[in-house]
Structure 1
Amino acid sequence: MNGTVLKSKKIKSYIDTTLFLGIMVFFFGYVGSIMGISKMFSTIMATAYSLLVETVLYIMAIAVLAGAFGKLATEFGLVRILNKIFSRIMRPIFNLPGVAFMGIITTYLSDNPAIISLAKDEEYLSYFKDNEVPCLCNIGTAFGMGLIVTTFMIGKGFFKEAMIGNIGAFIGSIVSVRLMSRKTNRAFKSGYKSEIPRNTIEGIDTTLKASDGTFFERFLTSFLEGGKLGVDIGLSIIPGVLVICTAIMMFTFGPADPTIGYQGEAFEGVRLLPRLGEYISPILKPLFGFTSPEAIAFPITALGAVGASLSLIPTFLKNNLIAGNDIAVFTAMGMCWSGFLSTHVAMLDSLGYRGLISKAITSHLVGGLAAGISAHFLMVILNKILLII
């Protein structure tokens, strides 16, 4: 038995190595054959440096401010007040108890994994049925980094589009959570059980309680702690932005000056994704209303890292590749997906529902698509109304 297991692991190791080598050969071979080896590496370094200085630090600044506000909102009871106000609508909309709204707020103000801290609290979980707990992963992810994404888009001058995007993300979250809820119901009826046993205890106390210290001390402490969390978020997105976004950009853009050819400058590439986007544009255009084929790079990047996808926006705007509708769709899909392919597995594993990972991923994939489609049609309706007015 042990010999069979070792043999299986050895075969898997060879397959993984072959796959890795295949990806490396394809990337460097394909890109290098078009751009030239020296120009390719020069572009990689220049793009990564430009993203770090011009985009990552900007996102980090937003994250620091958003983190500070989020911590202040929690410290002074705003989160609990909002929870009380909206708790009555959670069951009819998401088929979840009212306290699930606290998960929306905490992830919107920070990032997807913030839902785990709530889901690890047995008092908080006492409000949920066993089959409802896995849905926390989907509802938390659908609003992850919401404040940062929204603030980023507003900072680029797209307030109206960012608000429409938030509505689209909300619609996508309903689709994702409802689909996940149906799948978990079937799974638990078929005998599925959590890998982590749950205890049923009394509900949490939702009354407002003041922490120790004066108002000024609490304000200063919360502000600094929240800002520090923002710095951590900013640092955590650096690998995703520099690695993923550099690769995506090199598959998205062409030479800076087509008449001269490749010069090894930042944001040059081989335009592979736009060519692929042109083939499926008959589907993308009516569903999302993308202005250019290059826009497909944003949702693809958002699947793995929303921070990296935001890094595409300045270059898109500079080259007039996107417009207001694209920003609304990007906001909706960026918020709803929130890099869920890189977090969903770890989050569900942490919650003790490893067996439901595939169900959660497929549900959330559909939810993100619904978010983008909704944002597009909401923008179409809004623009028509503005024309009439």
Structure 2
Amino acid sequence: MKNDCRQGWTRFIPQGIPCLLIVFALFAYLSSVMGLPNMLNTIMKTAHDLLLNTVFYLMGICVITGAIGRLFVEFGVVNLLERLLRPLMRPLFHLPGVASLGAVMTFLSDNPAIISLSQDKRFCSYFKKYQYISLTNFGTAFGMGLLVIVFMVGQGYYAAPFIGLFGAFCGCIVSTRLMQRFVLKAYPRYATEAAYTEDEEDAATDADDANAANGKSLFLRTLDSLLDGGRTGVDVGIAIIPGVLVISTFVMILTFGPADDGAYTGAAYQGVELLPWLAGQVNIIFEWLFGFTDPHLVAFPITALGAVGAALSLVPNFIEQGWVDGNAIAVFTAIGMCWSGYLSTHTAMLDSLGYRELTSKAILAHTVGGIAAAVVAHLAYMLYACF
């Protein structure tokens, strides 16, 4: 019994002590600069303001885009887009044409849409194993694309978000092809092994689904699509709350500074300006690669690693401070779409596909792809600005 207790303590102590040290060190640093009461008030007020003025705004966009996306699915717009994009799949992404459906679905919703699609046995039958595994990177690069573009347009930028979309497209090519290369290097046999072999029973299951909507009127089909899609948007809006409130609050505290007079008052969106200071030490890298004119802007790509919804919540404050220009919006759109919280979704996505051991390779490939997307968006915006 004593040995069991001792083993339990030795298992948890190595994890618990570093966790406590990191948490205490972080809050000790923040309170030493801001003062303990001011730090606590700022955290609470920032989270509260983000919930009221950012999360509900994003949720509204999620509901509208979710309804439109479901309407597109119901009336064949998604299939039309899939047919138009199909010729690009093999030469650019080395994927079968049906993969374009995954790009459209994740663009209209979020990264996990590729998971539900990849569980369809008929869909999987078109892929070799190395192509099937790379769907994680391919789908993530377009995740929440419609939401990101609509949000940026809502901030008053029109050309820049679509330049960012082009950058995300290029970053997706880099990420997907690099992931395929990693998989083939680790498992050469996956080049010829099929992801799934379709049988007669699976091939015969489409008839009822294809005719399910025939008994409904046009009005009911439209109404059901809008309401079901809007309900999905609510789910997405609720799902982004933890990321926005937790990640964005701490990123903002590490990004913004004190009040105009240099004093800390406990108001929302005050902070210690640690991230800009760190970025300033290597600012030439971000200025050269991304065209960032202010070191504060590095907070967006850092936040997008965990949640693109949280990253979007930073933009209105950046605009208010005068740090954002069209180039930054293009880069934000590209890296926000391409990364779209992949650190928090890649593990679950690959686990659901049954290839958890390849998570580190997928993350590395997508990191490179996101940086490539931002660089392409920056260069494309510079070219656009010349005309």
TM-score after normalising by structure 2: 0.93
Task: Indicate conservation of the 8 Å contact 1:123/1:201, yes or no.
Answer: no
Deviation, 1:18, is 2.1
The match for 1:289 is 291
Instruction: Give the C-alpha shift of residue 12 in structure 1.
Output: 5.2
Q: Which one is further off, 198-207 or 306-315?
A: 198-207
* Counterpart-to-counterpart distance in 1, 2:275 and 2:11: 30
What is the aligned partner in structure 2 of residue 93 from structure 1?
Answer: 92
**Compared with structure 1, are the counterparts of its residues 115 and 191 closer, same or farther at alpha carbon in structure 2 (3 Å cutoff)?**
closer
Residue 17 (structure 1) shift: 1.3
Which residue identity does 1:51 align to in structure 2? L
Q: Is the 8 A contact 1:43 1:266 kept in 2?
A: yes
- The C-alpha deviation readout for 1:313-366, integer Å capped at 9, x for no partner, is 011000111111111000000000000000000110110001111110000000
Aligned position for 1:13: 12
CA positional deviation for 1:199: 3.6
Structure 1 CA distance, aligned partners of 2:174 and 2:198? 29
Partner of 1:322: 324
Partner SS for 1:244: helix
Distance in 2 between residues matched to 1:339 and 1:361, nearest whole Å: 11
Asked whether the 8 Å contact 1:241–1:311 carries over to 2, the reply is yes
Counterpart position of 2:234? 231
- Give the corresponding residue for 1:181: 180
Q: C-alpha displacement at 1:121, in angstroms?
A: 0.9
Quote the Cα distance in structure 1 between the aligned partners of 2:11 and 2:190: 31
Q: Which amino acid aligns with 1:112?
A: N
CA contact (8 A) 2:127 2:195 kept: no
Question: Post-superposition shift, 1:63?
Answer: 0.5
1:209 is displaced (CA, Å) by 5.7
Contact 2:128 2:195 in 1 (8 A): no
Structure 1: how far apart are the matches of 2:86 and 2:12?
Answer: 49
Structure 1 residues 12, 200: closer, same or farther in 2, change over 3 A? Answer: farther
Query: Which residue in the other structure is 1:301 paired with?
Result: 303
In the aligned structure 1, how far is the partner of 2:259 from the partner of 2:192?
55
Distance in structure 2 (CA, Å) of the matches to 1:192 and 1:78:
33
C-alpha distance in structure 2 between counterparts of 1:112 and 1:193, whole Å: 27
User: Is residue 284–residue 290 contact of structure 1 (8 Å, CA) maintained in 2?
Assistant: yes
Contact 1:77 1:208 in 2 (8 A): no
Moved over 6 A (4+): 190-194, 202-208
In the TM superposition, 1:214-363 aligns within 5 A as 214-257=217-260, 259-363=261-365
Per-residue CA deviation, residues 120-151 of structure 1 (Å, 9 max, x unaligned), is: 11111000011111111001100001000110
Counterpart residue number, 2:371:
369
Query: Which deviates further from its counterpart, 20-29 or 325-334?
Result: 20-29
Q: Which residue in the other structure is 1:111 paired with?
A: 110
Counterparts of 2:107 and 2:212 in 1: how far apart (Å)?
23
After TM superposition, give the deviation of residue 280 of structure 1 in Å.
1.0
- Corresponding residue number in structure 2 for 1:66: 65
Unpaired runs of at least 5, structure 2:
none
Report the equivalent of 1:38: 37
| Aligned residue in 2 for 1:147 | 146
Tell me, in whole angstroms, the C-alpha distance in 2 between the residues paired with 1:60 and 1:294: 26
Is the Cα–Cα contact under 8 Å of residues 127 and 196 in structure 2 kept in the other structure? Answer: no
Count of aligned residue pairs for this structure pair:
379
In the alignment, structure 1 segments of 5+ residues that lack a partner are: none
Structure 1 distance, partners of 2:298, 2:283, is 9
* Contact map agreement 2:168 2:337 (CA 8 A) in 1: yes
- Partner amino acid, structure 2, of 1:293: P
1:43-102 deviations in Å (ceiling 9; x for gaps): 001100110111111101100000000000001111111112221220001000001000
1:29 partnered with 2:28? yes
In the TM superposition, what is the alpha-carbon distance from 1:20 to its structure 2 partner? 1.7
Change (3 A) 1:100 1:280: same
Residues 86, 190 of structure 1: alpha-carbon distance in 2 compared, 3 angstrom cutoff: closer
TM-score by length of 1: 0.93
CA contact (8 A) 1:132 1:184 kept: no
- Note if contact 2:124-2:195 (Cα within 8 Å) is conserved in structure 1: no
**CA distance in structure 1 between the partners assigned to 2:302 and 2:170 by the alignment:** 20
Aligned equivalents of 1:261 and 1:273: distance in 2? 19
Instruction: Report the CA distance between 1:220 and its aligned residue.
Output: 0.1
Aligned amino acid, residue 234 of structure 2: V
Q: Distance in 1 between matches of 2:114 and 2:292?
A: 32
**Counterpart-to-counterpart distance in 1, 2:108 and 2:25:** 39
Taking the aligned partners of 1:197 and 1:79, their CA distance within structure 2 comes to 24
Q: Residues of 2 paired with 1:191 and 1:376: CA distance? A: 36
Alignment partners' CA distance in 2, 1:135 and 1:314: 34
The structural deviation recorded for 1:173 is 0.3
> Helix, strand or coil: the match of 1:251?
helix
- RMSD of aligned residue pairs (Cα, Å): 2.3
What's the % identity of the aligned pairs? Answer: 50
Note if contact 1:122-1:201 (Cα within 8 Å) is conserved in structure 2. Answer: no
- C-alpha distance in 2 between matches for 1:379 and 1:135: 29
Amino acid at match of 2:274: L
